[in-house]
Structure 1
Amino acid sequence: MSEKIAVLGAGSWGSILANVLDENGHDVRLWSYNPKQVEELNTQHTNSHYIKNFTFSKSLVAYADMASAIDGVDAILFVVPTKAVRSVAHEVAGILTAKHLQPELIHASKGIEQKTYKRISQILEEEIPAANRKAVTVLSGPSHAEDVARHDITLITAASASPEAAKYTQKLFMTPYFRVYTNSDVIGVEIGAALKNIIALGAGALHGLGYGDNAKAALMTRGLAEISRLGTSFGADPMTFIGLSGVGDVIVTATSTNSRNWRAGDELGRGEKLDDVISHMGMVIEGLATTKAAYELSQKRGVSMPITEAIYQVLYEGKDIKTAISDLMQREGRSEF
Structure 2
Amino acid sequence: MRTVVIGSGSWGTALAQVLQDNHQKVMVYGVAENEVNDINENHKNSKYFGDVELNPELKATTDIECVKGADIVLLAVPTIAIDPICHQINDLLEKKTIIINVSKGFHPETNERMSQVIRRCIDEDKLSSVVSLIGPSHAEEVVIRLLTTIDAISLKNEDALTVQNLFSNQYLRIYTGNDEIGSELGVAIKNVMAIASGILSGLGYQDNTRAALITRGLQEMIRYGVHFGGQQKTFMGLTGIGDLIVTCTSVHSRNFEAGYQIGKENSVENFFKNNTKTVEGVRTAKIVHRVATENGIDMPICEEVYQILYNGKLPSDCAQDLMIRDLKKEF
Aligned to 1:17: 15
TM-score (norm 1): 0.95
- Deviation of 1:50 (Å): 1.5
Aligned to 1:71: 68
- Deviation of 1:75 (Å): 0.3
- Deviation of 1:278 (Å): 5.0
Indicate yes or no: 2:140 matched with 1:146: yes
Which one of 181, 184, 188 corresponds to residue 194 of structure 1? 188
Aligned to 1:48: 46
Aligned to 1:298: 292
Q: Which amino acid aligns with 1:71?
A: K
Does the 8 Å CA contact 1:29/1:70 hold for their aligned counterparts?
no
Aligned to 1:91: 88
Which one of 98, 112, 135 corresponds to residue 129 of structure 2? 135
- Deviation of 1:35 (Å): 2.0
Query: Once the two structures are superposed, what CA deviation does each residue of 1:261-287 show, in whole Å capped at 9, x if it has no partner?
Result: 111111111107545435655431111
Does the 8 Å CA contact 2:268/2:308 hold for their aligned counterparts?
no
Indicate yes or no: 2:36 matched with 1:38: yes
Query: Once the two structures are superposed, what CA deviation does each residue of 1:185-219 show, in whole Å capped at 9, x if it has no partner?
Result: 01111111111111111111111111011110111
Structure 1 runs of 4+ aligned residues shifted over 6 Å read none
- Deviation of 1:253 (Å): 0.5
- Deviation of 1:66 (Å): 1.1
Look up the SS of the partner of 1:134 in the other structure: strand
List runs of 5+ in structure 2 lacking aligned partners. none
Distance 2:294 2:197 in 1: 26
Look up the SS of the partner of 1:42 in the other structure: helix
Aligned to 1:223: 217
Aligned to 2:57: 59
Distance 1:85 1:173 in 2: 22
Distance 1:147 1:280 in 2: 27
Distance 1:198 1:204 in 2: 10
Does the 8 Å CA contact 1:139/1:157 hold for their aligned counterparts?
yes
Q: Which amino acid aligns with 1:190?
A: E
Which one of 236, 241, 251 corresponds to residue 247 of structure 1? 241
Distance 2:273 2:64 in 1: 28
Q: Which amino acid aligns with 1:290?
A: T
Distance 1:267 1:312 in 2: 16
Instruction: Give the number of equivalent residue pairs.
Output: 331
Query: Once the two structures are superposed, what CA deviation does each residue of 1:213-252 show, in whole Å capped at 9, x if it has no partner?
Result: 1110111111111111111111001000010100000000
Distance 1:55 1:282 in 2: 26
Are residues 273 and 324 of structure 1, via their aligned partners in 2, closer, same or farther at CA, if it must alter by over 3 Å?
closer
Q: Among the aligned pairs, what percent are the same residue?
A: 39
Look up the SS of the partner of 1:28 in the other structure: strand
Matches within 5 A, 1:101-250: 101-250=95-244
- Deviation of 1:293 (Å): 0.9
Q: Which amino acid aligns with 1:29?
A: M
Which one of 250, 259, 264 corresponds to residue 256 of structure 1? 250
Q: Which amino acid aligns with 2:7?
A: G
- Deviation of 1:115 (Å): 2.5
Are residues 281 and 40 of structure 1, via their aligned partners in 2, closer, same or farther at CA, if it must alter by over 3 Å?
farther
Indicate yes or no: 2:312 matched with 1:315: no
Q: Which amino acid aligns with 1:61?
A: K
Look up the SS of the partner of 2:153 in the other structure: strand
Distance 2:162 2:36 in 1: 28
TM-score (norm 2): 0.97
Distance 2:266 2:103 in 1: 27
Look up the SS of the partner of 1:334 in the other structure: coil
C-alpha RMSD of the superposition: 1.3
Distance 1:317 1:41 in 2: 42
Distance 2:305 2:197 in 1: 11
Does the 8 Å CA contact 1:113/1:293 hold for their aligned counterparts?
no
Q: Which amino acid aligns with 1:41?
A: I
